[in-house]
Amino acid sequence: MDDKDPTKPIGERVEHLLGQMTAEEKAGQLIQPFGWLAYDHIDGKITLKEAFKKQVEQGGVGSLYGVLRADPWTGVSLETGLSPAQGAEAINEIQRYAVEHSRLGIPILIGEECSHGHMAIGGTVFPVPLAIGSAWNVELYREMCRAVARETRAQGGAVTYSPVLDVVRDPRWGRTEECFGEDPYLIGEMAVAAVQGMQGDRLDGEDSVAVTLKHFVGYGSSEGGRNAGPVHMGWRELLEVDLYPFRKAVEAGAASIMPAYNEIDGIPCTVHTELLGEVLRKRWGFEGMVITDCGAIDMLASGHDVAADGMEAAVQAVEAGIDMEMSGEMFSRYLLDALRQGKLETATLDRAVRRVLALKFKLGLFERPYVEPSRAAQEIGSKEHLALARKLAAEGIVLLKNEAGTLPLNGAAGKIAVIGPNADHGYNQLGDYTSPQPKGKVVTVLEGIRAKLAKEPERVLYAPGCRIKGIDREGFAYALSVASQADTVVIVAGGSSARDFGDGTIDLKTGASKVTDNTWNDMDCGEGIDRMTLQLSGVQLELIQEIHKLGKPLVVVYINGRPIAEPWVEENAHAVLEAWYPGQEGGRAIADILFGDVNPSGRLTVSIPKHVGQLPVYYNGKRSRGKRYLEEDSQPRYPFGFGLSYTEFRYSNLTVKPDRIALHEEASVTVDVTNAGDREGAEVVQLYISDVASSYTRPSKELKGFRKITLQPGETRTVAFTVGAEQLQYVGKEYELASEPGLFRVMAGRNVADTLSADLIVRED
């Protein structure tokens, strides 16, 4: 039999190929070195490095991580990095060498970061997942995932390390921006959309990439919101909350999964056999590949300290169910010696190799290892993808406050002063896991507003005022001077997940760009950047307070990666927009909202507290968690699902029919939604369920459905949901899904704190 014969079943092809492999070739399939180290790019010429070629010849390389990744961590810049066509050419060179110079001609699995766009030079930068979640538009996100898959596969990328399915429990965590929010049901809907969008109808399609679900599991519930900290969570909560989105994605056909760095109840997820074996493989029937996060195996011996040394850590990982190591450091050092010393069984090694080879066959890499560079140049950053990025950004923007109709802006706004550290800083709009951007690619808020008033450029004034971090107030005087000349002030503040891209800085006294030897790094969010507070960094609040004294209409736009708790701003600004990190088209999207060309429809997927001391404030906590503190109640300033519009929506006629059902039956829930305002708008209709009395404690409310609908002025639409066992069940006795008879409260409305309610009685079958 020929394992290259595509007409044969994949299982047969895998076994035939495995039977020909040496121990060195098997171990090689489990390692994933850093891809940007595999080649040199000098004067436009791509040359494979001798060390990489030697590695291929001596046993093979199973995968490469981030061949096309560019950022300060990799050291790949706009000057040294690859254009879309060059990236495709580089991967072709890599694959050609692997196929032609390894004994068995096994192609390499190219893995790339694609959390909110392919992290390669030229790739479309979409809004971060927190903004995508706030759009509550599953179909639009699925469309985005198809676009990301097209861009990635066009360059030769075959697997992506997304979606991030972590449930946010402490937004001080720097990776909050990478998540969809705090609710497992909503995350589960996005998870299914990601799998369907990126993997397409079949993995071997030219527009499909394999997804890697991460981080499995509990990563968003770390102690103190500190990255990779221990997770203190009971098994029932783990199954009901954090594991739920992963289960939905596995059921949808996800091809790969990545364990989290953290430990749960003393067991690191990297070697958590009950999670990786019992839950993932046996209960859920997952047959795909499991890959570690970077450095996770080393942490077992130097961090978690559950292994005496590197060899023991590597053996533990393979035995627990790890199939590939990102970075490949520990596996390349220890696997062969462990095999020779009898510390690792050949059958255990073979199990992992089978899964790696199976994924390569499913992706069609043996039949189609090469890509067409001209197609990469055409697909990547296309006009269609830019339009999609703009629409997603606009739908994810949340209007938190709009006093006396301050927004949308109109002719009465007169001169507009655009002020703040995020008003004209493109990188601060993009979030973490972003490649360097050529000048002019990212549209800032200042540029978006100027474009709206292109015929009246004199109406737009600008001053940065201050930086994100630091105590430098030298820009205050200029900002106040600019604001005093305006009729309306738009302050663009917030945070930054921009790493040091060497793009210079801004003269705070004049607002002009300038280049310095030491670029100011304003990063206060992103991976590894956890905070003790949710307040604005630096002197941003002081700047806002000083400008407020001028008595002008004040609009605050937040661009950031986690919720901001600034009571003074909420109480004194006339309007507040939460834009998260809206991506490269964010400036246009924000301007669309500010001027009313788009009616805001974003709704919060994380609760925003009044004060950091209220944490945790996620809406679906247990009823027994208490009512208040001495200083303040326990309710958030803005609840889950909250968001304003330029029109008004009214809810009426909530019905549940029948209102009595057996455990195996379903009820239809309908509610009428009316646009009672004078302009078209989109509303997110949310369905919540409350189990009034249960054998085990339950959250007071749980999201179980949502619909985003668009209504014309005066239009009424009846929105329908189905409620049955899937919506009513929970993890009961023996940690199995169960349904119980009793009284359930069914709620529908505009956010978790503003709903209509009706009862549903469930009886025994």
CA dist., res. 325 & res. 481, Å (int): 56
CA dist., res. 141 & res. 366, Å (int): 30
- Which 8-state DSSP code applies to residue 166? P
Is 293 a catalytic site residue?
yes
Query: Ramachandran region of residue 504, left (φ > 0), alpha (ψ -120 to 50) or beta?
Result: left
CA dist., res. 1 & res. 187, Å (int): 44
CB 729 within 8 A of CB 650: no
Q: Which residue among the candidates 170, 293, 592, 691 is catalytic per the annotation?
A: 293
Distance from CA of residue 701 to its chain's centroid? 25
CA dist., res. 486 & res. 470, Å (int): 27
Q: Which two tokens stand for residue 214?
A: 């991460």
Edge-to-edge strands, sheet with 754-763? 660-662, 754-763, 742-751, 681-691, 702-711
The kind and range of the H/E element at 26 are helix 23-29
Helix spans in 684-762 (H): 725-728
Three-state DSSP class for residue 675:
strand
Q: Within 13 A of 438's CA, how many CA atoms are on the CB side?
A: 12
CB 396 within 8 A of CB 135: yes
- Which 8-state DSSP code applies to residue 548? H
Q: Which two tokens stand for residue 131?
A: 């903004």
CA dist., res. 476 & res. 463, Å (int): 9
Phi and psi angles of residue 106, each rounded to the nearest 5 degrees, phi first: -85, 125
Residue with tokens 């299982």: 11
Q: Which two tokens stand for residue 85?
A: 């066509």
Query: Ramachandran region of residue 12, left (φ > 0), alpha (ψ -120 to 50) or beta?
Result: alpha
CA dist., res. 73 & res. 731, Å (int): 42
Residue positions annotated with a catalytic role? 293
